[in-house]
Structure 1
């Protein structure tokens, strides 16, 4: 896994189990905002749950089936991006993100997802990156659009969150499209 500057005091680096306390504190600051659309806010209820969650991703990294990174702004963890799943036989990955309210409007998620897609495509040989977003999650849909992804459709009532079913949009970008847009 890598770490990289996102510019303007922001950095992307791996979220590892030793950062569980910081991760839990971050989630406490943004829990209600993040939890409107993303289950991570409910899963990471405290430092122990944060550690278990990050251990799951450490196991995924060891098995080469997923990755997770945090976004730090001026030294404070404010969000993150991940590959929820990676399948190197099929050359696919599913990306996702979250951000606390204090970090909104700075382009952090777009820059962070750009960095991990570049890594997945250019270093790891991923051909297709998927992005799932609730039809109600306009900011996440806007990220997919800014990344040049293609909307492929809507999966009806595919996501059960806080007792309610949500329709999910599926977006994707293929490696040749990613390279062409980046190089343009």
Structure 2
């Protein structure tokens, strides 16, 4: 397995594989309410079987080149969050990136650093032309990540996302390959 350094603090980005289901569930249990404020992930990962099933679904996406999932580990070896390509279509050159993080790791730039790694890989290695970011209109930290990644807000999908009994608006952000490269060069 590989690990990519996310900076001087010792954090690493690694594939989040089905063999890590117990660690993934423990992580989700630590951050369940915080993570679940805007996304469904902690509702889907409720026990060891659902944690394993979720990770297997991403292993299958990776095998079919339609998605990827990576964990973020601290220098101490604790899984604290992750980034993913919820969708990945190399033929059309599009992907949708996403993230989650437990509260102990919030505010340290881990998500932005990890997203830079995976977006750069998608654009430079895989030829992806457009990377999207979908965030609840009420999720300020996620919207801030999209801004830091140089994405452009393209619109709002009104009340499209039923989450815990309430319909939420979703902001759609995106960065195009030429924009990504121009930002890297400057």
> TM-score normalised to the size of structure 1?
0.98
User: Can you list the C-alpha shifts for 1:118-177, whole angstroms capped at 9, x where unaligned?
Assistant: 000001100000000000000000000011100001000111111111000000000000
Q: Secondary structure at the match of 1:38?
A: coil
Cα deviation for residue 3 of structure 1 reads 3.1
Q: Which runs of 5+ in 1 are unaligned?
A: none
Provide closer, same or farther for how the CA distance between residues 2 and 123 of structure 1 changes in structure 2, counting only shifts above 3 A: farther
1-structure distance, mates of 2:84, 2:140: 19
2-structure distance, mates of 1:11, 1:2: 10
Matched length: 184
Q: Secondary structure at the match of 2:150?
A: coil
* 1:21-170 matches, cutoff 5 A: 21-74=22-75, 75-170=77-172
Once superposed, what is the RMSD of the aligned Cα atoms? 0.9
1-structure distance, mates of 2:3, 2:180: 21
1-structure distance, mates of 2:118, 2:3: 10
> TM-score normalised to the size of structure 2?
0.97
User: Can you list the C-alpha shifts for 1:14-71, whole angstroms capped at 9, x where unaligned?
Assistant: 0000000000000000000000001111101111110000000000000000000000
1-structure distance, mates of 2:3, 2:119: 14
Structure 1 stretches of at least 4 aligned residues deviating more than 2 Å after TM superposition: none
Q: Which runs of 5+ in 2 are unaligned?
A: none
Cα deviation for residue 2 of structure 1 reads 5.3
1-structure distance, mates of 2:164, 2:15: 28
